[in-house]
Amino acid sequence: MTPKNVRRWSWIHKWSSLVCTVFMLLLCITGLPLIYHHEIIHALGNEVEAPEMPADTPRADIDRVVAAGMAAYPGKVMMYLSQDREEPDMWAMTLGDTPRDKNYKPLLVDARTAQLLPEPPVEGGPFMSLMFHLHVDLYAGLWGKLFLGFMGLLLILAVVSGVVLYAPFTRKLAFGTVRHERSRRVRWLDLHNVLGIVTLVWLLVVGTTGVINTWADLLLKAWQKTELAEITAPYAGLPPVTKLGSMSQMIAAAERAAPGMQVKYVAFPGTKFATPHHYIAFMQGTTPLTSRLQKPVLIDAQTGAVTASPDLPWYMVALRVSQPLHFGDYGGQALKLLWALLDIATIVVLVTGLYLWLKRGKAAAAKPAEVRAEEAAV
């Protein structure tokens, strides 16, 4: 690589890293508890569990379950109904004053007795809520998400440029070498480079999936304005639905339309994820992978007839796969541990990179040319 190219890539690496470092540190620090959000919620006593019952206890009719939730808050409307694959004995509900109420009310109802369970803390409690919003949107909604997405793009650029700069040194030094006999800054440089290469693939995976996740709202709107709008075109201009059909019939129809799949969640008419005239039941498979590849089933809210069962477009599939992959939520505790260790290693990479930059300045000019050449990759 010519000196001119080295300077060019060094400039790209330095500024892409510096601009995103503080925000990447924030994301790594807040991402660590989010990897173990289920375990932390349980440890804090904020997890609601269904009471123990015999395994063959029959499930209550879903219409009774919905009625129990509605009775708890008269005057509110149903927004969403969902069920976790790992918690089949509970239905989670979201109610609001309107179908798009941002101040929603979460409820849990026993799937076997149709009895209300203790009220769950919003977003897992204050601590997990803080970690979630700092990691996802900085409490700034869509613009916060897009800003963090831009920081993720800078991270990817920093990683790629770091690899380009580090490659020539691999011809002179064995991989993993930390030159303890050299100056402190050279030792920190070696540690920074080694950990950067070790976390390379993980950083690219987490950075790319993180960027995709920040586009979730935009991708959903794109799907609604294209494929979904085309499917529901015959309903355009019709008055809003005033009387909803039986939920048990809706779910039965969705299960017939998607054999071998089960309901993940149901968006009620008028909500963000549905249409003014349809329920949309998002169906999931029964394996760790297929449970992420959801299939929407559109159901006429009055007649209960299935309107369509389209496959999600590629960009929505990418989004659904990216969300759990970003937090290592695919392979149980082993993958979570790996994600946590790589997260910690990334924090070290970011801190050492910041340290190396702060130690430059006037001291760099006083160093021998050989040392300055070794540190050009910073």
Report the alpha-carbon distance of residue 347 to residue 88 in Å, rounded. Answer: 37
Query: Please, which pLDDT band fits residue 188 given cuts at 50, 70 and 90?
Result: low
Answer yes or no: are the C-beta atoms of 218 and 253 closer than 8 Å.
Answer: no
Average pLDDT on 326-334 reads 78
Query: Please, which pLDDT band fits residue 26 given cuts at 50, 70 and 90?
Result: very high
Average pLDDT on 19-35 reads 93
What is the DSSP-derived secondary structure letter of residue 226? Answer: I
pLDDT digits (tens, 9 = 90+) for 76-106: 999 999 988 778 899 999 999 999 988 888 9
Report the alpha-carbon distance of residue 343 to residue 333 in Å, rounded. Answer: 15
Q: What are phi and psi of 306, to 5 degrees?
A: -75, 125
Between 179 and 262, the higher pLDDT residue: 262
In angstroms, what CA-CA distances link 12 with 123, 161, 189, 227, 287?
A: 39, 7, 17, 40, 42
Q: What is the 3-state secondary structure (H, E, C) of 80-111?
A: EEECCCCCCCEEEEEEECCCCCCCCEEEEEEC
Residue 327, pLDDT above cutoff 60: yes
Report the alpha-carbon distance of residue 364 to residue 361 in Å, rounded. Answer: 6
Between 289 and 37, the higher pLDDT residue: 37
Give the per-residue pLDDT at 216.
93
Average pLDDT on 179-207 reads 72
Report the alpha-carbon distance of residue 156 to residue 328 in Å, rounded. Answer: 19
Residue carrying structure tokens 């937090």: 327
In angstroms, what CA-CA distances link 284 with 29, 113, 255, 320?
A: 31, 24, 10, 11
Average pLDDT on 178-199 reads 66
Average pLDDT on 290-319 reads 89
Average pLDDT on 210-224 reads 94
Give the per-residue pLDDT at 377.
42
Tokens of 39: 């375990």
Q: Within 13 A of 46's CA, how many CA atoms are on the CB side?
A: 15
Tokens of 337: 């541990």
Query: Please, which pLDDT band fits residue 363 given cuts at 50, 70 and 90?
Result: low
First to last CA, the chain: 16
Tokens of 36: 């173990």
The packing angle between helices 314-326 and 216-223, to 10°, is 150
Give the per-residue pLDDT at 175.
56
